[in-house]
């Protein structure tokens, strides 16, 4: 298992696209894995024949463990298609030499483009005595269930004949027990959509596990259901246990760490956002915003950036180890996004330097990438301030928990038509509530209050986006 992202130590094998005996080429996708941050397709770095799949689908594997072995030709021993750390190799192949003349002197091929450093002593050829034996024989002992993998491949003999579908759609198909090779695609260029998967699952949702006619559907019912909707069609079941892994596991660890490390304070402000809503409608017809998505979140994000400029101390982090407050002179604006894989917070790098059209484009790309499940680990690193829009769910507001490493987070509530005193008279106005949670170790009540009040003032009178900028 290669290192597929910064700081990640494990990944779950979602899908195998090959099975033992298949011929693979350099760069051919052999499996899809899911980390705590992204779903990634891993290509083979070898030309050869698949010798062994060391772990079945649904297994969480530590970085450095062999997940597949490939026979690179003739009588040569099968080559492990993933880097193995020295500690793992010592346990897995105690006295099995590897042909040293075949060892590259540069960077070893791995399943993704991160590679392994040539200077690392963990990658040096191992010497031993005795007959040459397949290097991947021992790792198979760690996962004897791998021999059952071919039964779970749902007819995918190789990546060449693989149905076209995006990673979230593949995950949905796995959760619903749908064989993608049996689904009729309706998307452009033969791409299978979420609707196609739901349509394929609709005819017989209940007997999917029991009916003999549904032989390709072999996904384990309780474990494969996503944490966001842990429901199954099992008869008489009163409880369902869902493994804590992937995004849910990472989110839980981050939220617990944040909640019990940073002393949270949350303040609220309710105000008239009617003028901003009118500006949104005007911008939709502006030629400079043609083809761009204009919504309230765009102007709220711009208001936050202006408020940060007026209150720069809010854009900071607490360094416990160094006992320092780190003031950030840039804003990487995080946007909490609900995806099929769970909640993630990608951020817009250097959002403070972007114009309104540029910010609109960045927001649209961020959301689209997140929904497609293609957000990279790098896109979720280095955030300095986060916005979470809970108003899209119809709620007034909430008390958000800080994203680790940040000092504040803004929750945006639903925008509703309410009676409001305007120019001395009660009139129907569009009203919303903002909630700001901040780390009280480095943000005092005065600073937090001024910052929140500035955001509300800008959105009440959006001309301040110009006068305060």
According to the 3-state scheme, what is the secondary structure of the chain? CCCCCCCCCEEEEEEECCCCCCEECCCCEEEEEECCCCEEEEECCCCEEEEEECCCCCCEEECCCCCEEEECCCCCCEEECCCCCHHHHHHHCCCCCCCHHHCCCCCCCCCCCCCCCCCCHHHCCCCCCCCCCCCCHHHHHHCHHHHHHHHHCCCCCCHHHCCCECHHHHHHHHHHCCCHHHCCCCCHHHCECHHHHHHHHCCCCHHHCCCHHHCCCCCCHHHHCCCCCCCCCCCCCCCCCCCCCHHHHHHHHHHHHHHCCCCEEEEEEEEECHHHHHHHHHHHCCHHHCCCCCCHHHHHHHHHHHHHHHCHHHCEEEECCCCEEEECCCCCEEECEEECCEEECCEECCHHHCCHHHHHHHHHHHHHHHHCCCCCHHHHCCCCEEEEEHHHHCCCCCCCCCCCCCCEEEEECCCEEEEEEECCEEEEEEEEEEEEEEECCCCCHHHHHHHHHHHHHHHHCCCHHHHCC
Q: List all residues 6 or more positions away from 153 whose beta carbon is below 8 Å from its beta carbon.
A: 16, 17, 18, 19
Any catalytic annotation for residue 51?
A: no
Query: Which region, left, alpha or beta, applies to residue 115 given φ > 0 means left and ψ of -120 to 50 means alpha?
Result: left
Decide: 98 and 52 in contact? Cβ < 8 Å. no
Go through the chain and tell me how many residues it has: 469
Residue 231 to residue 205: CA distance in whole angstroms: 12
- The number of C-alpha atoms within 13 Å of 41 and in the hemisphere containing its C-beta is 17
Residue 256 to residue 319: CA distance in whole angstroms: 18
Annotated catalytic residue, options 156, 198, 352, 440: 440
Enumerate the active-site residues: 440
């Amino acid at each position: 298992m290669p290192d597929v992202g910064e700081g990640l130590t494990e990944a779950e094998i979602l899908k195998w696209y090959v099975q033992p005996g298949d011929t693979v080429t350099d760069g051919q996708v052999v499996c899809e894995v899911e980390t705590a941050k992204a779903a990634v397709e891993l290509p083979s770095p070898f030309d050869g024949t698949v010798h062994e799949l060391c772990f079945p689908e649904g297994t969480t594997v530590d970085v450095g463990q062999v997940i597949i072995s490939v026979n690179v030709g003739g009588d040569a021993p099968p080559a492990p298609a993933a880097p193995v750390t020295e500690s793992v190799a010592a346990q897995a192949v105690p006295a099995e030499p590897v042909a040293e003349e075949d060892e590259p002197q540069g960077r070893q091929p791995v399943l993704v483009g991160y590679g392994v450093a040539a200077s690392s002593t963990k990658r040096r050829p191992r010497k031993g005595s005795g007959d040459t034996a397949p290097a991947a024989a021992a790792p198979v002992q760690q996962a004897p269930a791998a021999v059952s993998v071919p039964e779970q491949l749902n007819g995918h003999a190789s990546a060449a004949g693989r149905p076209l579908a995006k990673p979230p759609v593949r995950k949905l198909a796995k959760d619903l027990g749908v064989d993608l090779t049996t689904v009729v695609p309706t998307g452009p260029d033969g791409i299978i959509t979420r609707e196609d998967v739901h349509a394929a699952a609709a005819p017989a949702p209940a007997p999917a596990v029991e009916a003999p006619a549904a032989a390709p559907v072999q996904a384990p019912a309780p474990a494969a259901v996503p944490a966001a909707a842990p429901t199954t069609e099992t008869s008489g079941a009163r409880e369902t246990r869902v493994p804590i892994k992937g995004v849910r596991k990472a989110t839980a660890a981050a939220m617990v760490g944040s909640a019990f490390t940073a002393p949270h304070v949350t303040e609220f402000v309710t105000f008239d956002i009617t003028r901003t809503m009118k500006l949104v409608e005007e911008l939709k017809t502006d030629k400079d915003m043609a083809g761009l998505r204009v919504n309230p979140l765009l102007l709220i994000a711009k208001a936050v950036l202006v408020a940060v400029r007026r209150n720069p101390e809010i854009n900071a982090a607490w360094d416990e180890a160094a006992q320092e407050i780190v003031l950030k002179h840039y804003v990487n604006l995080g946007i909490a996004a609900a995806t099929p894989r769970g909640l993630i917070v990608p951020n817009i790098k250097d959002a403070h330097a972007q114009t309104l059209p540029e910010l609109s484009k960045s927001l649209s790309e961020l959301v689209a990438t997140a929904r497609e499940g293609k957000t990279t680990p790098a896109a979720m690193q280095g955030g300095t301030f986060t916005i979470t829009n809970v108003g899209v769910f119809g709620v007034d507001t909430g008390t958000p928990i800080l994203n680790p490493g940040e000092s504040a987070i803004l929750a945006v509530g639903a925008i509703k038509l309410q009676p409001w005193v305007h120019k001395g008279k009660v009139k129907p106005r569009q009203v919303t509530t903002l909630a700001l949670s901040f780390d009280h170790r480095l943000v005092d009540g005065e600073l937090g209050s001024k910052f929140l009040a500035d955001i509300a003032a800008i959105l009440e009178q959006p001309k301040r986006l110009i006068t305060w900028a």
